[in-house]
């Protein structure tokens, strides 16, 4: 992060990208867990822009191209895009609190316009590379990475007025263990780097993160971290909408964040899919804010 000491927080209490209620309370849960106080104690100037207003549709599911809540997701994405654009112009480090993972359509749209070659670390149990054609569910939170690559519904890929936001060779997925057939084909076709749980188990988190950091440092002029709490094994982070057993441990995730902090590579971040309704005593929000602290350089000694 260099000299930049201002953190700009934007909450996106959106649950429209999927069907399980509760993830809209994620930003509140993370604030309640002491996020802002913790960052101030770390010496940051924190500007909290509050939460983007989400208007829930009264007309039920939007069936257009099998995409659930399409118009509402577009509206929120455009608003988030312009808020982050403004935050970066005011020289703040954008920290976005989700909400389901469809929020990254708006966040990356607002961030990528400030970089020639934005890199993305997608820390997630899922690849989120579905399109309307390949999606088993029509849930937009399974599509944001494809949309940021310029694949999918034009109204979504053109958020912020440009497309694509990211090049496939500038993306690294970490922690994947649930990948659909269509996503697998796309990963091979586009040559996207994926460190699955198999790689993390086999080589260790240090080797995986060092390789990811080295790879992106050579290619990018900024790196956005998109951290889905379901990357972490549900033993440690139970409050997520689509838990997949056999995930990254709490300690491995801390190590990953510490290595990213040391690298000073990360220029923006989002933490998504915290669902307090499915949680146990706000554990998952607590985990999220501890990981934010590590990412932003909190050290034990």
Residue 64, pLDDT > 70, answer no
Q: What share of the chain is helix, strand, coil (3-state, %, to 5)?
A: 45, 20, 35
Residue 215, pLDDT > 80, answer yes
Q: How many CB atoms lie within 10 A of CB 82?
A: 14
Query: Is 228 annotated to bind ligand?
Result: yes
Sequence-distant (6+) residues with CB within 8 A of 14 are 23, 24, 52, 54, 73, 76, 98, 99, 100, 102, 103
pLDDT one-digit tens code per residue, 134-149: 998 899 999 999 999 9
Distance CA(97)–CA(276), nearest Å, equals 13
Query: Is 51 annotated to bind ligand?
Result: no
Distance CA(283)–CA(301), nearest Å, equals 25
Predicted confidence at residue 19, as pLDDT, reads 86
Predicted confidence at residue 89, as pLDDT, reads 97
Distance CA(71)–CA(186), nearest Å, equals 26
Contact 92, 165 (CB under 8 A): no
% residues pLDDT > 70 (the chain): 96
Confidence label for 1 from pLDDT (cuts 50, 70 and 90):
very low
Sign of the Cα pseudo-torsion (185, 128, 131, 20, in order): positive
Fold annotation for 6-295: 3.40.800
Average pLDDT over all residues of the chain: 95
Predicted confidence at residue 77, as pLDDT, reads 98
Predicted confidence at residue 182, as pLDDT, reads 95
Say whether 162 sits in a helix, a strand or coil: coil
Q: What is the mean pLDDT of residues 52-71?
A: 73
Query: Is 224 annotated to bind ligand?
Result: no
Q: Which of 51, 38, 104 is nearest to 293 (CA)?
A: 38
Task: Give catalytic residue positions.
Answer: 101, 124, 126, 128, 141, 228, 230, 273
Distance CA(100)–CA(258), nearest Å, equals 25
Query: Is 15 annotated to bind ligand?
Result: no
Predicted confidence at residue 192, as pLDDT, reads 98
Residue 225, pLDDT > 70, answer yes
Residue 236, pLDDT > 90, answer yes
Confidence (pTM)? 0.96
Confidence label for 160 from pLDDT (cuts 50, 70 and 90):
very high
């Amino acid at each position: 992060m260099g000299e930049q000491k201002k953190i700009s927080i934007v909450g996106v209490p959106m649950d429209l990208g999927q069907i399980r209620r509760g993830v809209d309370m994620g930003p509140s849960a993370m604030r309640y867990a002491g996020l802002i106080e913790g960052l101030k104690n770390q010496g940051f100037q924190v500007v909290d822009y509050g939460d983007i207003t989400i208007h829930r549709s009264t007309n039920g599911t939007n069936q257009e191209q099998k995409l659930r809540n399409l118009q509402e997701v577009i509206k929120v994405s455009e608003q988030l895009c312009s808020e982050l654009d403004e935050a970066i112009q005011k020289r703040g480090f954008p920290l976005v609190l989700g909400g389901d993972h469809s929020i990254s359509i708006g966040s990356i749209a607002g961030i990528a316009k400030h970089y020639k070659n934005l890199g993305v670390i997608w820390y997630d149990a899922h690849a989120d590379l579905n399109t309307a054609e390949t999606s088993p569910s029509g849930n937009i939170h399974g599509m944001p990475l494809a949309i940021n690559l310029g694949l999918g519904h034009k109204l979504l890929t053109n958020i912020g007025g440009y497309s694509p936001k990211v090049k496939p060779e500038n993306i690294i997925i970490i922690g994947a263990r649930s990948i659909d057939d269509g996503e697998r084909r796309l990963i091979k076709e586009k040559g996207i780097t994926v460190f699955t749980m198999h790689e993390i188990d086999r080589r260790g988190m240090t080797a995986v993160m060092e390789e990811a950091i080295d790879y992106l440092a050579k290619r990018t002029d900024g790196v956005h971290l998109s951290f889905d709490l379901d990357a972490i094994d549900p033993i440690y982070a139970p409050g997520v909408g689509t838990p997949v057993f056999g995930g990254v441990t709490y300690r491995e995730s801390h190590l990953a964040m510490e290595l990213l902090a040391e690298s000073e590579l990360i220029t923006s971040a989002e933490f998504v899919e915290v669902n307090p309704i499915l949680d146990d005593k706000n554990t998952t929000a607590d985990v999220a804010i501890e990981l934010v602290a590590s990412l932003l350089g909190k050290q034990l000694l």
